[in-house]
Amino acid sequence: MKVCTTLPGTSISVPISQVTSINQNAYPDALPNFRNLGTLLRILVTVNAMGLAAALLKAPTGHGFMQEFMGIAAVIQPVLLISLLLLYGLYQPLARLPYATGIAAVLLLELILTTVAYWFGGTKADNIDMGAISRYWIFGLGITGVLLGYFNLRRHCRRASPPIFCLIASTQYYR
C-alpha cells in the first residue's frame, strides 16, 4: 500500500517519501573559527587542564606534582601559543579546504610544531628519544582530536537542540 498526501491547494497526490520539509538543510562540517576569542579561550583552558591532569597522573607524590606540571607546561605552552597564532593566521585558507582535508592539515601542523618544539627543547638530532617524542605526539594529536570533535559536536548540536546541548557541553545558552 502506497501512502500519499495531497499538496495544499491542489488535487495532486504525491507519495509521502517525496515530500520535503521546510528548513531541513544539513549543516556541513566545518573547522572551528580560530579567529573567535571564545574558541581560542576554550582551546587554552582545555589544553592547560589536560596538562594539569597529565602532571597529576605522572607525579609520584603530591610534592613532585608542581615539578611535573612545570616540565609539562614548558613543552606545552610554546607549542600551544605558536599553534594558536598559526591557526589564527591560516584560518581563511584552512576554511576553504574540505572538512577532512582541513582536519588533516591541522593535525599535521600540530605534529610539525610538536616535533620542532621537542627538537629545539635541547635534544640534539642524533639523540632523539623516540619514546618521549611519541608521547608528545600522542598527547598533541589526542588533545587536537578531542577539541576538533568537541567543536564539531558543538556546531551540530547547537543548531539541532540548543537547550539540551547547553546542559551537556556548554555553560552558555545559544545566542
pTM: predicted TM-score of the whole model, two decimal places: 0.70
Spell out the domain ranges in the chain.
28-169
Residues near 69 by beta carbon (within 8 Å), at least 6 away in sequence: 51, 52, 55, 59
CA 53 remoteness from chain centre = 18
DSSP bridge pairs for 15:
4
Q: What is the pLDDT, as a whole number, of residue 119?
A: 78
Is the pLDDT at 3 greater than 90? The verdict is no
DSSP bridge pairs for 13:
6
Evaluate the CA torsion angle 85, 95, 143, 115 in order and state its sign. negative
Per-residue pLDDT reduced to its tens digit, 56-114: 988 888 788 888 888 888 888 988 999 999 999 999 999 999 999 999 999 999 999 98
